Amino acid sequence: MSTPNPPRTALRSALTALAVLLAALFLAPPPASAAPVPPATFTEVTGFGANPSNLRMWAYAPANVSARPAVLVAVHWCGGSATDMYNGSEYKSLADRYGFVVVYPSVTRASKCWDVASPQALKRGGGSDPVGIKSMVDWAVTNYAADTGKIFVTGMSSGAMMTNVLLGDYPDVFAAGAAFAGVPFACFATTNGSEWNSDCANGTIIRTPQAWGDLVRGAYPGYTGPRPRMQVWHGTQDDVLRYPNFGEEIKQWTDVHGLTQTPSATDSPNGWTRTRYGGTGDQAPVEAISIQTGHNVYASGMGARVLTFFGLTPDPGPGNPNPTGPCKVTSSVSAWNTGLTNSVTLTNTGTAALSGWRLTFTLPAGQTITNGWGATYAPASGAVTATNAAYNAALAPGASVTVGYQASHTGNAAAPSAFSLNGTACA
């Protein structure tokens, strides 16, 4: 016996209900999506993609993150961590100012050093740390709709070596890099599983420009696209990764760009020696900065110069990365095995006189102030506030005051970062 057709009124009701449901699905606005990480919060990210060497990832996105932001990968030194890089550099405060996203990779192997030596690391898609970092970049691009033409990387020491490696492995991903106290791509190469190459560290591996360039080109055979620009920094008295590596990096990256080793421009900002190759402006293909200092070459204010090279900020000018700000700070660190002193000069670049001041800054991880002069300092580590003494409370427009402190450290003797005067960021 056949089933009777439903009554016409019931059919009409069913069709009406279906129309209402379809309207709800297709006409209603989509629910608001949550930010990938909480704004203005240093946050660990998991499940970011292929990660053959078990790296960890942290990210920082400012509250005012730009539409289609740039992405900066900030790579820590040997023995450090993502947290150390976050606390020991200026990129968080610069991200707040300019709206880009920062990715902080972190090593989990016992040495806390990056793999810049294995055959896997020195080949595009070969495995090890570069693959994990590339996955972090992909995560940031996807989750923030980032501008793929504005992906950058910077690092210190082992992180500077990784900067060289990433530019070699992924020239189609990174627009530019900045390496503080590093070595050329593949200089640290080993085949016995060792993470350390003494010949390279001691600056005794000397090659022709073409030989260095061929090592970079060999990481991604057949690639014919544009190459990332490179900025290299090195201390003339570096006793960890010795100074000849600076010249070898210049040879490598000028050859990669098809340039000679004859500078297009030479100048001396802040008493440094800066040479530019293939151009005379802020975004020359290769820029090299030599400083009369040791291995800990990075200091406050250099992050702004990195961003200028990347094309994310205007030229900060000699000694003043933010000439329109209310204050300028210069910091001069003298370090030994477990301790350091830092002389800090604060200049009131605003238009109003100060009758009292509080200078806040962030000490790198492992540093603890043991005594100070010209101000009171509290707490002794982390985010520190220096409060004026009675005799130097008044600070007229254009006037400066010099204070300082002595501190212990556990290996990182870098200058503090994120200076603010009475709550407003300084240059």
Separation between Cα atoms, residue 368 and residue 196, nearest integer Å: 30
Residues with Cβ within 8 Å of 336's Cβ and at least 6 positions away in sequence, in order, are none
List the beta bridge partners of residue 347: 328, 400
The residue whose two tokens read 């289609």 is: 68
208 CB burial (10 A radius; 0-12, 13-18, 19+): exposed
Structure tokens at 14: 């069913």
Q: What ranges make up the beta strands (E) of 107-175?
A: 151-156
Please choose, from the candidates 72, 75, 78, the residue with its C-alpha nearest in 3D space to the C-alpha of residue 101: 72
User: Identity (one letter) of the amino acid at 101?
Assistant: V
For residue 11, give the H/E element and its range.
helix 8-27
List the beta bridge partners of residue 44: 58
Q: Is residue 378 a contact partner of residue 416, using CB atoms and an 8 Å limit?
A: no
Question: 417 catalytic, yes or no?
Answer: no
Q: Is residue 228 a contact partner of residue 176, using CB atoms and an 8 Å limit?
A: yes
Buried b (16+ CB within 10 A) or exposed e, 392-420: beebeeeeebebbbebebebbbbbbbbbb
Q: Is residue 86 a contact partner of residue 169, using CB atoms and an 8 Å limit?
A: no
Active-site hit among 135, 157, 300, 420: 157
Please choose, from the candidates 344, 346, 303, the residue with its C-alpha nearest in 3D space to the C-alpha of residue 326: 346
Residues noted as catalytic: 157
